[in-house]
């Protein structure tokens, strides 16, 4: 990699590959607010939520392959391993790590780090959720490349999304002074990770220009990540290295790992210690957290302006309506005179709500569980 | 029947039967505004729309049997004859008249009149739509009895519903002076049938106290009906009597009959000639014209106040919602934060609309037909 500044965008694919870089994709999380499309048995990342013909997981792999070639690693739960193999036939078995049970993001990414460290003591890993949607792929590639350059210097590096509105549903990253990283002109010091703010705080954050959204994307040397983790969770690091050395012991050892997110286990304490850098990432990004979010990713129906359709558009007849219709039940869906409606049709469950109540779909799933209808969740 | 005034209500069933009276039930009309529950292939009258376990047709027969015993006659289209036989196993084959093609209400009722006239020259028929909902059954029975007494005198008698609001969706009956009919104290002269009014007119009608809703219920001697019809449609009367005499000729002759409603063919001209009487009918009546109307017939869900459920209530989960849910698709239906919503779930089609747009469901059916989706209508 040359030390002089490379162009921001339009890098040729062959120029993108980073020989020491492995993309790690934690494929977990149910996506509760996308029920009934997303289920515990068939979570969000396995679905094509953009109508592009690829699941979110597949699109994530597609996005990282130009950077990492075949060094793409997926970490998923035992329940979803078969579905992941089916969706990613090109994934080598050694690059699919299967968690016996969910333990949140730290054990998942930590296991990948421990496995990679054994393969290459200098390996840099980049962790990217399996269920986000990202546009501007050459900008994405350039910012990952910059993050890799910074990570090689020993930092924990995150990619922070330039806020487009004062979101209260995401954590933020408070940025500091520029960091000098040869070949990477956008790297900043991270002052702190901050929790999801209230509306006023969020507005002030966006106004200040000093805050980025925390999208949970981390780039770091495998060994550095484990060392940072070891500061507060030395037992976890030891266990993860044992599993990496003796993969067959995972069933025996996995249960002892603390359930904790990488943000809490590593990123926040490391930021407090001044060890985190960020690359502001001006590409479009969406965590597809709910149907309102999903709606923004879909084009308006040609036949029915104002309505965005996911699934088979020929099944949808929308008269005087606006909103989102997911037609996944194989049946005709007719809306008449309803605005900002969300209709999600699946073979065994139907949801009718509004854009503004999308956030509360989580509560519906909880209600179904209380009613003993786990079969639907 | 005694000449003195009988009690209004609480007649014993054995006191209700009227030996010369036959109930005629024209079972036609698709109920387009109840799509997708109601279809051309499975129209409204075949459905249990009140959740009582009986279809509207069955409930109509149930309501008339105490008055007419086994003299209940159903006139339906060839397409629905099997379904009618299945729903009414007690109906004798001679009391099921099958129309080769729909010709509106006059030929249907006229055929019943011609058949009855041959059985009993003095027969009185009462025609009652198969797809209306009526409450206060002893009041209903008393008013039919009064209508029969008036019909025996040679009048065309209608039952007019006391308006409960200034409806613009029904025609009205302008009432006149009382008619003296021994044993029937409520009979009035009919001055005119008037078309569906505008909102202002409707309000004035209701205000005046002189108007009743025309619910299409007629009680008349079979011979009188045919004579009245013969004034303007002598050919139709001749053809109907030919069919009654030679039922096998129906396929050959039916196509020549004019498609016309009994209101236009007989009731309006007869009223203009002073030959119509009306019995005001203070029982509850609903033509179940659309889902808003249907909603008023259903009890609120015990689990979900504000929501009225048709179908399997255990399939419905309504959070912060009001409206109507018809759960006929066998799937769980969840509504979240939607008000005055109408959700109608069936195995092959789903409708989401609002109470105030229920009237426009008809347009959806037309749109589906334009789209070549007759299979759904």
DSSP-based three-state secondary structure for B305: coil
Mean pLDDT (chain A, rounded): 93
pLDDT tier at A301, thresholds 50, 70, 90: confident
Both B59 and B165 in a single domain? yes
In tens, the pLDDT along A175-217 reads 999 999 999 999 999 999 999 999 999 999 999 999 999 999 9
Contact yes or no for A361/B334 (Cβ under 8 A): no
C-alpha span between A207 and A209 (Å, rounded): 6
Identify whether A321 is preceded by a cis peptide bond (ω within 30 of 0). no
C-alpha span between B114 and B156 (Å, rounded): 16
What number is the average pLDDT over the span B248-273? Answer: 96
Contact yes or no for B286/B297 (Cβ under 8 A): yes
- A125 part of a folded domain: yes
Both A353 and A222 in a single domain? no
Both A319 and A274 in a single domain? no
Contact yes or no for A290/A172 (Cβ under 8 A): no
- B124 part of a folded domain: yes
The minimal CB distance from B336 to the residues A332, A338, A364 is found for A364
Which stretches does DSSP call E strand in B143-210?
156-161, 172-178, 188-194
The minimal CB distance from B363 to the residues A36, A319, A351 is found for A319
CATH code, domain carrying B77: 3.90.550.10
Both A210 and A326 in a single domain? no
Strand A332-336 and strand B72-77: pairing? Answer: unpaired
- Measure Cα distances from A341 to A309, A322, B81 in Å: 12, 6, 40
Can you give the residue range of the structural domain that contains B346?
294-376
Q: Which two tokens stand for residue B139?
A: 């009041």
> DSSP characters for B42-83?
S-GGGS--SSSSS-HHHHHHHHHHHHHTT-EEEEEEGGGHHH
What's the gap between Cα B197 and its chain centre?
Answer: 20
Both A94 and A213 in a single domain? yes
Closest-CA residue of chain A to B325: A352
Both A311 and A280 in a single domain? no
| Whether pLDDT at A9 is above 80 | no
Looking at beta carbons, which residues of chain B come within 8 Å of A351? 334-336
| Whether pLDDT at B257 is above 90 | yes
Both B162 and B77 in a single domain? yes
Tell me, what's the pLDDT at B16? 59
Which of B223, B252, B286 terminates a domain? The answer is: B286
What number is the average pLDDT over the span B44-48? Answer: 96
C-alpha span between A221 and A20 (Å, rounded): 9
Tell me, what's the pLDDT at B14? 43
Tell me, what's the pLDDT at A11? 43
- A67 part of a folded domain: yes
Q: Which two tokens stand for residue B297?
A: 């017939």
In tens, the pLDDT along B78-91 reads 999 999 999 999 99
Closest-CA residue to A61 (of A95, A11, A23): A23
Could you count the other beta carbons within 10 Å of the beta carbon of residue B109?
A: 29
In tens, the pLDDT along B177-228 reads 999 999 999 999 999 999 999 999 999 999 999 999 999 999 999 999 999 9
Half-sphere exposure at residue B339, Cβ-oriented, CA atoms within 13 angstroms:
1
Looking at beta carbons, which residues of chain A come within 8 Å of B337? 353-354, 356-357, 360
The minimal CB distance from A350 to the residues B36, B320, B331 is found for B331
Which residues of A sit within 8 Å Cβ distance of B? Answer: 36, 317, 319-320, 329, 331-338, 341, 343, 345-354, 356-357, 360-361, 363-364, 367-368, 371, 373, 376
Tell me, what's the pLDDT at B300? 87
Q: Which two tokens stand for residue B305?
A: 């106040």
Contact A368 B334 (CB under 8 A): yes
In chain B, the N- to C-terminal Cα span, in Å, equals: 48
C-alpha span between B108 and B131 (Å, rounded): 15
Which stretches does DSSP call E strand in A103-187?
124-127, 133-134, 156-161, 172-178
Kindly calculate the radius of gyration of chain A based on its CA atoms and give it in whole angstroms.
Answer: 21
Which of B268, B286, B304 terminates a domain? The answer is: B286
Both B160 and B273 in a single domain? yes
The minimal CB distance from A317 to the residues B343, B346, B364 is found for B364
Looking at beta carbons, which residues of chain A come within 8 Å of B338? 341, 352-354, 357
Looking at beta carbons, which residues of chain B come within 8 Å of A345? 350
- B231 part of a folded domain: yes
Which of B259, B286, B313 terminates a domain? The answer is: B286
Residues near B170 by beta carbon (within 8 Å), at least 6 away in sequence: B196, B213, B214, B215, B287
Give the distance between the most distant pair of CA atoms in chain A. 62
DSSP-based three-state secondary structure for A84: helix
CA A319 to chain B, closest CA, distance in angstroms equals 8
CA A281 to chain B, closest CA, distance in angstroms equals 35
- Measure Cα distances from A57 to A48, A49, A140, A143, B5 in Å: 9, 10, 17, 20, 81
> DSSP characters for B81-129?
HHHHHHH-TTS-GGGEEEESS---HHHHHHHHHHHHHHH-TT-EEEE--
Contact A332 B361 (CB under 8 A): no
- B3 part of a folded domain: no
Q: Which long-range contacts (CB under 8 A, 24 or more apart) does B344-347 make?
A: B344/B36, B344/B37, B344/B291, B345/A350, B345/B311, B346/A331, B346/B36, B346/B37, B347/A331
Query: Of residues A162 and A13, which shows the higher confidence score?
Result: A162
Closest-CA residue to A35 (of A290, A244, A272): A290
Both A176 and A218 in a single domain? yes
Helical axes A56-68 vs A137-152, angle rounded to 10°: 60
Please state the domain count of chain B: 2
Tell me, what's the pLDDT at B30? 86
Contact yes or no for A179/A279 (Cβ under 8 A): no
> DSSP characters for A288-307?
--SHHHHHHHSPBPSSSTTE
In chain A, the N- to C-terminal Cα span, in Å, equals: 48
In tens, the pLDDT along A236-247 reads 999 999 999 999
Tell me, what's the pLDDT at A302? 84
Tell me, what's the pLDDT at A18? 86
Looking at beta carbons, which residues of chain B come within 8 Å of A371? 317
- Measure Cα distances from A19 to A5, A244, B374 in Å: 19, 22, 60
Q: Where are the alpha helices (DSSP H) in chain B?
A: 13-16, 56-68, 81-87, 105-119, 137-152, 199-208, 222-232, 234-245, 250-253, 262, 268-272, 291-297, 361-370
| Whether pLDDT at A39 is above 70 | yes
Both A114 and A212 in a single domain? yes
Looking at beta carbons, which residues of chain A come within 8 Å of B336? 351-354, 357, 360-361, 363-364
Q: Which two tokens stand for residue B173?
A: 């009956």
Tell me, what's the pLDDT at B17? 67
- Measure Cα distances from A137 to A16, A63, A65, A66, B98 in Å: 11, 7, 11, 10, 68
pTM of the model: 0.87
- B44 part of a folded domain: yes
Contact B333 A345 (CB under 8 A): no
Both B330 and B247 in a single domain? no
Looking at beta carbons, which residues of chain A come within 8 Å of B347? 331
Is the sign of the CA dihedral A120, A115, A218, A258 positive or negative?
Answer: negative
Looking at beta carbons, which residues of chain A come within 8 Å of B37? none
| Whether pLDDT at A12 is above 80 | no
The minimal CB distance from A352 to the residues B341, B349, B376 is found for B341
Both A279 and A297 in a single domain? no
- B276 part of a folded domain: yes
- ipTM of this complex prediction, to 2 decimal places: 0.86
C-alpha span between B96 and B88 (Å, rounded): 10
Q: What angle do CA B28, B30, B33 make, to 5 degrees?
A: 140
């Amino acid at each position: 990699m040359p030390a002089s500044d490379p162009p921001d965008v339009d890098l040729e694919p062959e120029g993108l590959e980073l020989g020491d870089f492995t993309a790690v994709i934690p494929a977990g999380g149910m996506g509760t607010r996308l029920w009934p499309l997303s289920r515990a048995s068939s979570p969000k990342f396995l679905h094509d939520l953009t109508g592009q013909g690829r699941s979110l997981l597949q699109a994530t792999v597609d996005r990282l392959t130009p950077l990492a070639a075949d060094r793409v690693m997926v970490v998923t739960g035992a329940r979803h391993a078969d579905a992941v193999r089916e969706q990613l036939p090109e994934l080598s078995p050694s690059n699919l790590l299967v968690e016996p049970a969910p333990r949140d993001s730290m054990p998942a990414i930590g296991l990948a780090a421990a496995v990679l460290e054994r393969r290459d003591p200098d390996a840099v890993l980049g962790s990217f959720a399996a269920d986000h949607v990202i546009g501007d792929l050459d900008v994405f590639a350039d910012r990952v490349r910059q993050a890799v350059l910074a990570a090689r210097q020993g930092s924990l590096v995150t990619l922070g999304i330039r806020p487009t509105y004062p979101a209260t549903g995401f954590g933020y990253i408070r940025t500091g002074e520029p960091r000098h990283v040869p070949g990477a002109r956008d790297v900043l010091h991270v002052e702190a990770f901050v929790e999801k703010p209230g509306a006023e705080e969020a507005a002030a954050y966006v106004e200040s220009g000093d805050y980025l959204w925390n999208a949970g994307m981390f780039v770091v040397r495998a060994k550095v990540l484990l060392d940072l983790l070891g500061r507060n969770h030395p037992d976890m690091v030891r266990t993860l290295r044992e599993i990496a050395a003796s993969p067959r012991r995972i069933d025996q050892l996995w249960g002892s790992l603390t359930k904790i997110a990488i943000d809490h286990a590593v990123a926040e304490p490391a930021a407090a210690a001044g060890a985190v850098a960020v690359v502001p990432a001006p590409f479009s990004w969406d965590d597809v957290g709910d149907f309102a979010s999903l709606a923004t990713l879909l084009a308006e129906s040609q036949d029915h302006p104002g309505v965005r359709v996911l699934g088979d558009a020929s099944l949808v007849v929308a008269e005087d309506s606006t909103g989102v219709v997911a037609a996944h039940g194989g049946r005709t869906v007719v809306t008449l005179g309803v605005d900002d409606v969300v209709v999600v049709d699946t073979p065994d469950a139907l949801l009718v709500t509004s854009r503004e109540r999308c956030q509360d779909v989580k509560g519906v799933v909880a209600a179904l569980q209380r009613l003993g209808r786990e079969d639907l969740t």
